[in-house]
Amino acid sequence: MPVTAAATLLFLAAVISAANSCPPSDREALLAFKAALREPYNGGIFNSWTGTNCCRNWLGVACDQNSGRVAEINLRATTLYTTFEKPHRQGYMAGHISPEICKLASLSSIVITDWQGISGDVPPCITSLSFLRIIDLTGNRITGTLPSNIGNLRQLTHLSAADNSITGVIPASISSLTGLTYLDLRNNRISGPIPNSLGQLRFLSRAFLNGNQISGPIPGSISRMYRLVDLDLSRNRLSGSIPESLGRMPVLATLNLNTNNLSGKIPSGLLGSGISDLDLSHNMLEGYIPDSFGPKSYFTCLELGYNNFRGSIPKSIAKAAFIGFLDLSYNHLCGPIPKGGVFDTLDESSFAHNDCLCGKPLLKAC
């Protein structure tokens, strides 16, 4: 092969190699991010973070094929450490998330989950990463507050910071994340009210805010989330009544409001809607259980225990198409337990500790 041809091929190979490798600035940012974390094993993830090309064989790192910039950081403990200790045991990654991660300007996905030992704040500068679509920080020890201007991340579709120790309030700017489809902030120490503007998240399909210290009323604007399938607000400090509009949501299938301070009556629309898993237990709800069940009522689980309901059990419950589990215990219900339908499959615990219920499956005859 002539020298000139060989030189040309070598030059082209060098150009292609350079095009497929990450910029030095991205590599430096990743190494600074790595320096803020500590792995318990010498043969861990970061042992692969060597060489000049962070787009090749660096575990948990993926780059954009066109630009060569780092696009994804995916560090899931449960998948990357399958040969090490089981989750929730000592020996998992510790340290904090370095603000140097914000220098990776092309990031579209940050997944750092289930390490149990990563602490510190969520870097506020993360809101400058305009291409972010996914943030998942579940299962760490992250503290501090959610960035107040998180609404700047207009392309975000998935936000999860569950199972941490995050404090503060739900930022009002979250309502600007109009493309958000998944929101999971469960099991933190978040307080304050649910923003009234949350209903602007029209594409949200799953929202988990349970296990916090959230107070105030349930905003009626939530009913404007016409794609919402699962809503869990349980184990908070919510008060006031349940908005009637929740019973008119077109695809809502799971509504969990247990262990709050909710009062007032059950909106009758909840019992005839498409909700199949309804948990209103451990509140201060009162009045009569609406006699509004019918053939369209289909519940895998209906929990109304530990409230202040009175009166009789609605006979229309027996007309429901299906009720897999029913709990009416710890109320002030009276009268005979209806027969037929779901009542033929329930045991005594479903009716225990009421004022004067009688009939099977209770031992007390009417």
Per-residue pLDDT tens over the stretch 26-66: 999 999 999 999 987 666 789 899 999 999 999 999 999 99
> What's the predicted TM-score (pTM) here?
0.90
Question: In the CATH hierarchy, which fold is given to the domain comprising 170-264?
Answer: 3.80.10
For CATH 3.80.10.10, list the domain ranges present in the chain.
Answer: 21-153+162-166, 170-264, 277-366
pLDDT at res. 88: 43
On whether the 21-153+162-166 domain is CATH 3.80.10.10, my answer is yes
| Amino acid 42: pLDDT | 67
Query: What is the residue-averaged pLDDT of the chain?
Result: 90
Q: What is the pLDDT of residue 92?
A: 76
Q: What is the Cα–Cα distance from 328 to 305, expressed in whole angstroms?
A: 5
Asked whether residue 89 carries a pLDDT value surpassing 80, the answer given is: no
- Percent of the chain clearing pLDDT 70 (strictly above): 90
- pLDDT band at residue 20 under the 50/70/90 scheme: low
Q: Pick 77 or 264 by higher pLDDT.
A: 264
Give me the pLDDT at residue 295, please.
84
pLDDT at 7 over 60: no
Burial class (CB in 10 A: 0-12, 13-18, 19+), 344: exposed
Share of the chain above pLDDT 90, in %: 76
- Residue 12: per-residue pLDDT: 38
Q: In sequence order, which residues have a C-beta less than 8 Å from that of residue 57 and are 6 or more positions away?
A: 48, 51
More confident residue, 4 or 140: 140
Which residue, among 65, 50, 52, has the nearest Cα to 19 in the 3D structure?
Answer: 65
The whole-number pLDDT of residue 350 equals: 94
Q: Is the pLDDT of residue 200 over 70?
A: yes
pLDDT at 106: 97
Which CATH architecture does the domain made up of 277-366 adopt?
Answer: Alpha-Beta Horseshoe (3.80)
Where residue 79 falls among pLDDT bands split at 50, 70, 90? low
